[in-house]
Copies of this chain bind each other. A is one copy, B any other.
Amino acid sequence: MRISELARRSGVPVGTVKYYLREGLLPSGEPTSATQAQYGEEHVARLALIRALLGTGGLSISTAHAVLAAVDDPALSPHDMIGAAHSALPTRVESERPDLSTAQAHLRRWGWQVHENSPSVSALAQGLLALQAAGFDTPEQMLDRYARAAYELGEQDVTDLPMDSPAEAVRLVVIGTLLLEPVLLALRRLAQEDVSARRLST
Residues of A at the B interface (CB closer than 8 Å) are 48, 52, 55-56, 77-80, 82-83, 86, 89, 91-92, 107, 112-115, 118, 120-121, 123-124, 126-128, 130-131, 134-136, 142-143, 145-147, 149-160, 163, 172-173, 175-177, 179-202
A191 contacts B112, CB within 8 Å? Answer: yes
Which 5 residue pairs spanning A and B have beta carbons closest together?
A154-B191, A150-B187, A79-B201, A79-B200, A127-B183
Query: Which residue of chain B lies nearest to A169 when distances are taken between CB atoms in the complex?
Result: B200
Q: How far is the CB of A176 from chain B (nearest CB, A)?
A: 6
Q: Please give, as numbers and ranges, the residues of chain B lying within 8 Å of A121 by CB-CB distance.
A: 186, 190
Query: Which residue of chain B lies nearest to A55 when distances are taken between CB atoms in the complex?
Result: B134
Query: Which residue of chain B lies nearest to A181 when distances are taken between CB atoms in the complex?
Result: B185
Given A155-B191, A190-B121, A193-B86, A136-B182 contact (CB < 8 Å): no
Q: How far is the CB of A175 from chain B (nearest CB, A)?
A: 5
Query: Which residue of chain B lies nearest to A173 when distances are taken between CB atoms in the complex?
Result: B192
* 5 A–B contacts, CB within 8 A, in A order: A92-B182, A113-B193, A124-B186, A126-B182, A154-B188
**C-alpha gap A129/B9 in the complex (Å):** 21
B128 contacts A196, CB within 8 Å? Answer: no
**C-alpha gap A154/B56 in the complex (Å):** 28
